[in-house]
């Protein structure tokens, strides 16, 4: 094992421990089991910590093969971010700008799936800082579903993390968060883009309604 890998493993442990200390995060598997299986998890995006929270509640054998899809401009902006994004999270980095990008993001995601990884997507495309529960979805997830129709697509609702660390604040406050995994879905035969995106959006929002601590 290389020094970088050892450092990455230590960093991963520290991040998971910190996430648990601050959020006491609880996973609710509501219609899907925490078992190794090739999946695309898609979640609401309110905070930079969203991916970390999902990653924390995954069993460790699943954690290592579950890669976040993240913005290259953010994760390549400093040495620390490059280390965390590449070595710790093994993120699939995509260029958000269609004009400058050299690789097709959907192709990048599809080849990550082909290599045996699962993915974590934030189909809103950006952090939601407004009053709306969920922004409209970008179309990438639909294109991924048409290219890899045999992969389970799992909605994941993250509750409360926007309160732990609102945008623009520098330190988190400790509050309990819940990560709720819903029933897997797939693209139906002949289902169009808008239908698929609105169906997946509804499935994600449905997890919010009983997202309280019970």
Q: Residues interacting with other proteins, by CB under 8 A?
A: 24, 26, 160, 163, 166, 169, 171, 173-176, 212-214
- Give 163 or 188: the residue with its C-beta nearer to other proteins: 163
Q: Please report how close the Cβ of residue 130 comes to other proteins at its closest, in angstroms.
A: 12
Q: Please report how close the Cβ of residue 24 comes to other proteins at its closest, in angstroms.
A: 6
- Give 57 or 88: the residue with its C-beta nearer to other proteins: 57
Residue 171 CB: number of other CB atoms within 10 A? 7
- Give 80 or 213: the residue with its C-beta nearer to other proteins: 213
Residue 23 phi/psi, 5-degree rounding, is -110, -10
Q: Please report how close the Cβ of residue 20 comes to other proteins at its closest, in angstroms.
A: 10
Q: Please report how close the Cβ of residue 174 comes to other proteins at its closest, in angstroms.
A: 4
Q: Please report how close the Cβ of residue 156 comes to other proteins at its closest, in angstroms.
A: 18
- Give 189 or 212: the residue with its C-beta nearer to other proteins: 212
| Alpha-carbon Rg for the chain in angstroms | 17
- Give 80 or 214: the residue with its C-beta nearer to other proteins: 214
- Give 21 or 35: the residue with its C-beta nearer to other proteins: 21
Q: Please report how close the Cβ of residue 169 comes to other proteins at its closest, in angstroms.
A: 5
Residue 118 phi/psi, 5-degree rounding, is -100, 165
Contact of 40 with 203, CB cutoff 8 Å:
no
């Amino acid at each position: 094992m290389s020094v970088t890998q050892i450092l990455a493993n230590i960093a991963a442990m520290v991040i998971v421990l910190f996430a648990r200390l601050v959020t006491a995060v609880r996973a609710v598997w509501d219609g899907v089991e925490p078992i190794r299986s090739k999946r695309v998890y898609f979640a609401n995006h309110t905070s930079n910590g969203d991916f970390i929270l999902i990653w924390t509640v995954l069993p460790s054998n699943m954690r290592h093969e579950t890669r976040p899809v993240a913005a290259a401009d953010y994760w390549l902006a400093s040495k620390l971010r490059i280390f965390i994004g590449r070595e710790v999270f093994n993120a699939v980095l995509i260029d958000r700008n269609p004009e400058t990008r050299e690789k097709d993001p959907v192709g990048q995601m599809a080849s990550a799936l082909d290599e045996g990884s699962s993915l974590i997507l934030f189909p809103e495309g950006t952090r939601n800082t407004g009053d709306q529960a969920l922004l409209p979805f970008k179309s990438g997830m639909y294109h991924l579903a048409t290219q890899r129709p045999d992969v389970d697509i799992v909605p994941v609702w993250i509750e409360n993390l926007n309160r732990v660390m609102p945008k623009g604040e520098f330190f988190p406050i400790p509050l309990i968060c819940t990560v709720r995994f819903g029933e897997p879905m797939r693209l139906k035969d002949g289902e169009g883009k808008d239908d698929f995106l609105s169906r997946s959006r509804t499935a994600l929002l449905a997890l919010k309604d009983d997202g309280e601590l019970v």
